[in-house]
Homo-oligomer: A and B are copies of this chain.
Amino acid sequence: MSRVLVAGGTVVGAEGSVRADVLVDGETIVALLAPGTELAAAAAAGAERTVDATGKLVLPGGIDVHTHMEMPFGGTFSHDTFETGTVAAAWGGTTTIVDFAIQSKGSTLGAALDAWHAKADGNCAVDYGFHMIVSDVNDTTLKEMDTMLGEGISSFKLFMAYPGVFYSTDGEILQAMQKAADTGATIMMHAENGIAIDVLVAQALARGHTDPRFHGVTRPSALEGEATFRAIQLAKVAGSPVYFVHLSATEALVEVARARADNGNVWAETCPQYLYLTDDAMEGPGFEGSKYVCSPPIRPAGHGAHLWRGLATETLSVVSTDHCPFCFKEQKELGVGDFSKIPNGLPGVEHRMNLIHAGVAAGHLSTERFVELTAAAPARLFGMYPRKGVVAPGSDADIVVYDPAATDTISATTHHMNVDYSAFEGQTVTGRVDTVLSRGSFVIDGGRFVGRAGHGRFVRRGLNQMLR
């Protein structure tokens, strides 16, 4: 084990920022020290290495609670493995991902967990946890929701979309929520009315509307607002918390705000693509629009500004990525002639921190709120705080030294995700990751990746720490 001192920087937390030196011993942060004090000098003297963070921010490592590595989809897989995906995450200052294990219909949660452990174990460059997608709600899986807690899986995702695949009925959702109310688990919800959407999709295809842009047209924002309100009411009946994944629409935001003012245990995340992109992207030349096909779809202009405001006013609690990369060639192209066959998802895990920090530069958010949205809140909501999500004594030494003034341009030619395009090609961002430590080990150092697959460990998570 080694001692590292990160010296001279500004340590940022959700509540505020302080000038402090951070001493790491082995995998753990062991002290925050006022610079220039006797103890700080002693720490520097005893450190094997001192990272000079003068003029830099010292951030808790980013936590991306919504990724899909190697996700099976229609005979193919999302194109990042746990290795390539976590390496890309590290490049972007994210030191923990929470990926979704997926119960196969007819199988068990246990089997799904085993399968995902098998994929991730020994392959990850940074730490990782799992949520569980419950594809069948039945007596067996409801019981497994208990045992999963012991496995460090405290959050369960349900779908109001994708009938025949992941879709749960309102009755099934209610039962899973009742279970969550009993145990303290968190229900995560994909809130779109998939039953109505499937009618619109079939009608569009019947009319020959097959281009990528019809993906957006057939998933109107009113149907996300609807499903969001519905899930909130079901959660109210069950007495359960509910967390909305990838909220994209003003209509949904309004419902979350109403529920939160009414004191409910209701939270939502959004993703960079909903903040930065508009549905014009799906109208690109040729089949280019397919690159931007994800669900919920990228919305028309106007929604994004509301989402930025929702982040600032605390209606939204987290920014994740819904990282689910499919290459344009051979993967997105599966949907040529039928938009409904385009694999849904965008790459994003690498650029989340910079894209949200760019919102600080643009005046949307404070630096503290940036840290809350990308690290502290996800840690608390998903039962990892203060092990993760904060620079504090006793915490895992997941630390990012961040240059808030540097600027970069995002491009597929330079990114590290294993996918042949970027959804943010040419986007300029303010802020750059200098150095990344994961549990005390250097992963990014001086612009080089110095980590290794297998360093990352599974994080057994506890219950939601923001329940009220």
Contacts and interface: CB of A to CB of B under 8 A. Distances in A.
A23 interface: yes
Interface stretch (A13-21, A428-436, A437-445): A13-21
Given A39-B30, A230-B226, A468-B312, A390 B261 contact: no
Interface string A151-190: 0000000000000000001110111000000000000000
A85 interface: no
A312 B468 CA distance: 8
A169 to B, nearest CB: 5
B222 A233 contact: yes
A40 B33 CA distance: 12
Contacts of A395: 18
B390 A15 contact: yes
A314 B243 CA distance: 19
A456 to B, nearest CB: 22
Interface string A1-23: 00000000000011111111101
Interface majority SS (helix, strand, loop, mixed), chain A: mixed
A38 interface: yes
B39 A392 contact: no
A33 B393 contact: yes
Given A18-B392, A392-B18, A196 B223 contact: no
A35 B333 CA distance: 56
A414 interface: no
Nearest to A238: B196
A28 interface: yes
A20 B394 contact: yes
Copies of this chain per assembly: 4
A19 B170 contact: no
Given A20-B392, A309-B263, A393-B32, A237 B14 contact: no
Interface residues of A, number: 72
A32 B392 contact: yes
A29 B34 contact: yes
Contacts of A15: 13-15, 372, 376, 390
A386 B260 contact: no
A315 interface: yes
A37 interface: yes
Contacts of A32: 31-32, 392-393
13 contacts: A15-B372, A16-B380, A18-B392, A20-B394, A30-B34, A30-B39, A32-B392, A34-B393, A39-B43, A193-B233, A226-B234, A260-B313, A312-B468
A-B CB proximity, top 4 nearest: A226-B233, A34-B393, A171-B199, A14-B15
